[in-house]
Amino acid sequence: MDLFSLAQAMPAPQTAQQIQEQLRQTLFAHAGTYILWLFLAQVVTVVSYWLASCVVAGEEASIKNAVKVWLLYLVITVVVFIVGGAIAAIAAGSHSEAAAGAIVVIVLLLVLFAVPMNVYAIGFLRATGFLVITIVLGVIGQAGLGVAMGTSIKDQLAVMEKLQSLQAGKAILPDGTSPDGASAPADALPGELQAGDRGRTLPERQKGLDMMYEELKKRRLALKENDQAARSKYDQQAARYLALLARLKADAGQPAQ
């Protein structure tokens, strides 16, 4: 099939809302896997606290205290971020915003040491040992959990990231980069520069593709049977459209059709 015939049969591009809905369906279809992974990750964290406390805290080491440490870390971290975020919002645009961020970081560092020191009645050096051992055990445990769960959880997290990015109006690139713009050929179609600019959001690129599609339909109807030059130019433009459509689907995590 030549490009002319292919362009005649090409489907109308999907809207950003349709892509978003497909991502949601994928996410919900495997929600159980993510919930299980999230639960097991917390279990690994608590076990890491318990094993670390067995090394540095002696008789104070227990699963109960490990759960207590986990809860304290969780509650205090949430409170600190809420208060810090409120302060940063109030001080937005001023030098105080940076100071608020620095205070949040300092408080969280203090909490890292203060919680095990308080729960296990240990000193600063033992608390440091507790944190080091916890980090090592946590990394090992999470790696083992990743192997046990297979690649499904990685795929699930990738879908969540793309869905969040679509909702936020941001483009996700496979290599993690965000180019500032794209150059257009001399015979660019309306919307082609916009559709090919990976620095734009996915909905913006979709609008560019919509413009290209409508223009291609008009030019196809206007083609004369023996005008090979116009036919060749149209084929090239249709090929660029199909390439940009495939790129958008790839960036949105859709399989090519």
pLDDT one digit per residue (tens) for the chain, 257 residues: 444 444 444 444 444 455 555 555 655 555 666 777 788 889 999 999 999 999 998 888 999 999 999 999 999 988 888 887 777 777 666 666 677 778 888 888 898 899 999 999 999 999 999 999 999 998 898 888 777 765 455 555 555 555 555 444 444 333 333 333 445 577 788 888 888 887 788 888 888 889 889 988 888 888 888 888 888 888 888 888 888 888 888 888 765 55
- For residue 151, what are the contacts with CB-CB under 8 A and spacing of at least 6? none
pLDDT at site 39: 87
Residues in the chain: 257
Q: Among 212, 219, 221, 220, which Cα is nearest to 244's?
A: 212
Alpha helix (H) ranges present in 57-123?
63-90, 95-120
What beta strand segments (E) does the chain contain? none
Q: If 0-12 CB within 10 Å is exposed, 13-18 middle and 19+ buried, where does residue 1 land?
A: exposed
